[in-house]
Amino acid sequence: MTNESGAQEDNDKPVTFLRAALRPAVWFRPIAVIRRRGIAPWIQATLTAVALLGVSGAYGADTPHFPPTYISIIIDDLGNSLPAGEQAVRLPGPVACAILPHTPYAVDLDEMAHRHGKEVLLHLPMEPVGGLDPGPGALDTAMSRTLLTLTLDNDLSGLPYLEGVNNHMGSLLTSRPVPMAWIMQALHEHGGLFFVDSRTIAQTVAARTAGAYRIPNLSRNVFLDDIPTVDAVERQFALLIRIARRRGHAVAIGHPRPATLEVLRQWLPRLGFYRIRLVPLATLLALKRGETLPWQLPGAQPPPAILAQPEQLPEQDDPSIAWP
């Protein structure tokens, strides 16, 4: 399936995944480093971490010295393949599932994602530049307001567990203020939904229009798998972490492709060791509103994390994930 994507916002030179993306937390694995490099360069950092956080808190509650980094991930284009959709739903952690309307397995995956505690989004087909077919239920610039609204309502009605909407394709439609205003007005009247701008074109007005209609909204920062190989997906995952560390949070979009699923299955369980939290989109929206999250309250316990065992973590300079 053709996927549109805009230019990435970060042009940092690709470097080793762990060195670039996880560098701020290297002292959380001093034993591996000591084994290879000796104790002297790392003992002070290790003792400082223990003193600041306590042994039991090294991977626990947030502190001013080690603020958390938040990421959210959406898997798009679900609904045409049941096996691929099931693999996406079963990814560890709160990975959101974006389902295309009127596809053979849309209802089944909507129910399955809900049972697994995943956020469900309508992956709303919109007209792209160049005349590609976005699929059934698509909205386009030739539609009247009435037809566009009726089509959107029909798309929404097919998935009972929806929490949000993001655009599928849409490089043409999302750059047009008038139809985007019609869409956001309809979503506002529907109520209870957020919008994620997939940013398939730099000139998108989708998020800005959503904000004008007081619809909670986020924008995509990284596409994980424009190049569907493991190396390329890991490179984009590293970019996601770098952006999140710089901004405090970031949103990635991927697809149920073998390389994407493999990388996410491998890396999502390890994020907690590096104070990176995979959170639902609703959590990022709460942060955007400036709300205090439950686990940020004094004395609160952090949310449960799906963590790998420390011995499963690779060495910092693992050559299997070094970039050209």
Q: What does the angle CA 188 – CA 150 – CA 119 come to, to the nearest 5 degrees?
A: 50
Question: What are the pLDDT digits (tens) for 142-183?
Answer: 999 999 999 999 999 999 999 999 999 999 999 999 999 999
pLDDT at 313: 35
pLDDT for 311 beyond 90? no
Give pLDDT, residue 52: 30
14-73 residue pLDDT tens: 334 544 555 544 333 443 444 445 554 444 444 433 333 332 233 334 444 456 799 999
Q: Which domains does the chain carry? A: 17-62 (no CATH), 69-290 (3.20.20.370)
Task: Report the C-alpha gap between 282 and 88 in whole angstroms.
Answer: 19
**Contact between residue 321 and residue 17 where contact means Cβ atoms under 8 Å apart:** yes
pTM tops 0.85? no
Residue 38 is predicted with a pLDDT of 52
pLDDT of residue 97: 98
DSSP collapsed to 3 states, 36-88: HHCCHHHHHHHHHHHHHHCHHHCCCCCCCCCCCEEEEEEEEEECCCHHHHHHH
pLDDT for 25 equals 41
Taking the chain, what is the end-to-end CA distance rounded to the nearest angstrom?
28
Q: Residues with Cβ < 8 Å from 191, sequence gap 6 or more? A: none
Look up residue 33 and give its two tokens.
Answer: 């480093």
What's the pLDDT tens digit per position in 95-131? 999 999 999 999 999 999 999 999 999 999 999 999 9
Amino acid identity, position 162: L
